[in-house]
Structure 1
């Protein structure tokens, strides 16, 4: 299991597009609220 910081580093490494990173943060927050 990755820590949040490790996952964020991988996200930024493989997705340099800021819009995709923003989308990932939105999805993360949505999943937190549903859980």
Structure 2
């Protein structure tokens, strides 16, 4: 049971990390695009 919980926590951690990276990448991409327009 403990192993199952650890696997679920690991999956949630990976999903949160991927979402955070995706949001950061989008923001950095928008910032570079706006700097190019300016």
Give the unaligned 5+ runs of structure 1: 1-15
Higher helix share: 2
Alignment TM-score, normalising by the size of structure 2: 0.49
Aligned length: 20
Segments ≥4 residues shifted beyond 2 Å: none
Structure with larger Rg: 2
**TM-score, structure 1 as length reference:** 0.53
Q: Which runs of 5+ in 2 are unaligned?
A: 22-38
Q: Which has the higher contact order (CA 8 A, sep 6+)?
A: 1
